[in-house]
Amino acid sequence: MPHQKFLELIKVGKTFRTGGKKPAEILANIDLDIAKGEFVAIIGHSGCGKSTLLSMMAGLEDATEGSICLREHEITGPGPERAVVFQHHSLLPWRTVLGNVMLAVDAVFTREPKAERRARAEKWIEKVGLKEHMWKYPHEISGGMKQRAGIARALSMEPEVLLLDEPFGALDALTRAQLQDEVLRLHAENGLTVFMVTHDIDEAIYCSDRIVMMNVGPRAQIGQILTVPFARPRERISLMESAAFAKVRAACVRFLYDQKWRSAAVVPPVTAPPAPIEVGSAVAPAMAG
């Protein structure tokens, strides 16, 4: 029996058309296969279409060209099997943490009794460490707690795919690190497939299995795909202090630096998926130093 593909982007392009202006070609010829349970990060300079690509995967934007498929069914709109966490938590200020998470649960599990829906919401609130704060309103909790509530709300739908759009970008370094570890724990425990937009190279390396690096626009395309060679679970300090981590980081910086100085000319169409960058075999955390 042939293996069923999980999440596919097939020759995807996006053009924004506005009245009286020349169409803006944002993305072109994006080919990418994401396996079930994989954690993929995407990096690139501002304006290269990273968030636009995520919005199309979420079904919030339509692809102008090509198609995006989940389990070989084309994505044509939002669905509970794909949950999104944005940089801004988007919590309703007049609802408690529990009330905000219940919104998602009530929308997806409409046939379940109220007590079961309540139990679902409380389970995910506890998983992100907010059990003692579930009766608080957004203005009564910190920025990190708000993002935790947003993650709980997304995961309470029990999605197959978690889409993260710079979810920790507005947080301080310590809170950011704590939430990265929280997402990695949830990813491992629940077999989530994760696609994350980030500007932080260290975050991309620490969290992901592969890093998709975008060329500059217009008509931005995938420039390179880097395979992250570190086994899970990962220990932050020893990993980030290792020579192996520095090697992966240098490959990302080199790519982005090269893109910065490229001309603004349209990049020629890609006729085949770019070859992945291999920077070494899997390294266990204990060996990383």
Residues of the chain with pLDDT under 70: 1-4, 20, 262-289
| Domains of the chain in sequence order | 7-81+159-288 (3.40.50.300)
Amino acid (1-letter code) at residue 162 = L
Largest CA distance in the chain: 59
Q: What is the pLDDT of residue 99?
A: 96
Q: What is the pLDDT of residue 22?
A: 82
Residue 219 and residue 266 in contact, taking contact as beta carbons nearer than 8 Å: yes
pLDDT tens sequence across 88-121: 778 999 999 999 999 999 999 999 999 999 999 9
Q: What is the pTM of this model?
A: 0.86
Q: What is the pLDDT of residue 280?
A: 57
Q: What is the pLDDT of residue 88?
A: 79
